[in-house]
Amino acid sequence: MSTTPEGFEHHYADVNGVRLHYVAGGTGVPLVLLPGWPRTWWQYHKMMPALARRYRVIVCDLRGMGESSKPAAGYDKKNMARDIYELVSSLGHERVYIAGEDVGSWVAYNFAANFPDATIKAAFWGPGAPDEVLRRFPVVPRPGELSGWHLSFNALDELPEKLLAGRYRLLIDWYIDKLSDNPAAFDETTRAIYAAAYDSPEAIRAVAGWYGTLAEDIDEAATHTKLTMPVLVPDGDLMSFSRASNEHRATDIRFVQIPGAGHYLAEERPDELVRELLAFFG
């Protein structure tokens, strides 16, 4: 359904007990991009050509996402970071730039924390590190206050796939309209790609794996020492959330707010995000 950006090719790799799908193109220092929920590698399609002019861009469907396999277990973010580490190692890369949004940001943070020698610089946003702030989302929010209901819903056993299998487009559209400041940035092709990727019970159970391990991820992250490589945290309207999640995580950290942007920076504001990543990674 999707059109692969010019100069990019699809690949698969068997690493850490999982088969990962990734799309790669360009030349230079490797830059790994990790997508979030409820999206796939396609999240970065607007950014990939510009970044490929400077880097070897590797955009990976996470364990359980898109065309990657969907095993029954292994969804804690430390293990998902090992998936990515073994992938880049299998490609012959000793050190990489890494960036991630949403669920991909949890994995990108864990990559930097657990494989610092392989991380040149890291960027993550929306929110970044799995942090105690996630536990403080209100169950009964005030008008206009952000609710984290999906953190619990997505982790439920069996119910999400019974409700949403074959109907995931409803959730895709609802979240885009609620959390994006520019829903028009998501065209019909994009919305259909994401709905198709998550419509199966198997895919929805994989989402439950990501969110069902989140309490474990938060506890694990609390034991980490501060990152010492340079870190960038861009964000839009939710910058206060990303700042609270990450300001104590690194010794060299830079926050950049993109005014007027919602949750989905890579698709809402791809040009500004490319500009910030190019300036940061160099």
Give the mean pLDDT per block of 10 residues along the chain (282 residues): 88 98 98 98 98 98 98 98 98 98 98 98 97 88 84 95 97 94 96 98 98 98 98 95 96 96 96 98 96
Separation CA 113–CA 131 (nearest Å): 14
Give the active site residue among 97, 131, 263, 264: 263
- DSSP, res 183: G
Do residues 38 and 198 touch, judged by C-beta distance below 8 A?
A: yes
Please give the pLDDT value at position 2: 64
Note the CATH architecture for domain 8-281: 3-Layer(aba) Sandwich (3.40)
102 carries an active-site annotation: yes
Q: Is 168 a catalytic residue?
A: no
Per-residue pLDDT at 137: 83
Quick one: CA torsion of 32, 38, 41, 46, rounded to 10 degrees? -100
**263 belongs to the catalytic site:** yes
Instruction: Report helix, strand and coil shares of the chain as percent, to nearest 5.
Output: 45, 20, 40
Considering the entire predicted model, what is its pTM? Answer: 0.97
Candidate list 83, 102, 131, 199, residue with the active-site label? 102
Is the bond preceding residue 127 a cis peptide, omega within 30 degrees? Answer: yes
